[in-house]
Amino acid sequence: SAAVRQRALMPATIAHRYVLVPSRSADTAAATDAAAATATHADADAGTDAVVDATTDAGADVAVHYRSSTDEAKAVADEIRARGRQATTVGADLSDADEAARAVAEASATLGTIDILVNNVGTVVWKTLDELSPQDWQTCLNGTVTATWHACRAVLPAMRRQGFGRIVNILDADADALAPVVYATPYKIGKTGALVLTKSLACNEAPHGITVNAISPGVLEDSEKTVPLERIPAGRPGRYEDLAGALLFLVSEQAAYLTGTNLKVSGGYLI
């Protein structure tokens, strides 16, 4: 019917849902504070802003995570409030399970039970394997798969109690590939590990009404590392609106039966 068609074309709405957005850490060539999660930093701030913009416009209230960039995170929260939604900030080192649990508890105390978790985390150390120190290695794994796991682990009990939850992990276009990676090897391992974690949690949590999916972006319009456009079948880099559209679908009621999926938003790059 026309009514059914109209409903199918409506944008995803997540009004009155509470979203926690662990934000990405700064890309860095050294390990000094490399795991520091920031709300606004180069590629990281644009990605976090895209998540915040999409979920806020869809009617959600948002908790913005940070590790050390307090002022930037508060600025994002102020912008959310100016748009008529509730917001709070939570500071934590998500590589520490206890801190992750505390951050979720603080966010929940302000906004209520977290319905949606978007893990936009990742730490890159641009070195070859022979240049990496043990600290570099651990920093990258902590800033990718470990932080993702700790955040998921912290929100799952409440999601189970309410019989609803949406978890979306932001990965990388080659997270599903097993090809050699000369630079930033532990980052690649961390993102591939996060994909395995996504699929494993999806199976584990489906009986509880919780979906766990991933989005793997390709080259974005402001990516630090780029490739020739002829390598991208779509002929252009990705835009943050492309990621936002995928995210809103995955957290919507329309995607209730979709779990364990990795949406590669790459314009055909690395498919």
Q: Between 134-141 and 185-205, two packed helices, what is the crossing angle to 10 degrees?
A: 30
Does residue 170 contact residue 118 with C-beta atoms inside 8 Å?
Answer: yes
CA distance 179 to 188: 10
Determine the 3-state secondary structure of 19 from DSSP: strand
3-state secondary structure 135-197: HHHHHHHHHHHHHHHHHHHHHHHHHHHHCCEEEEEECCCCCCCCCCCCECHHHHHHHHHHHHH
CA distance 76 to 32: 25
Active-site hit among 187, 240, 257, 269? 187
State the greatest distance between any 2 C-alpha atoms of the chain, in Å, as a whole number.
Answer: 62
Catalytic annotation on 269? no
Catalytic residue positions, numbered: 187
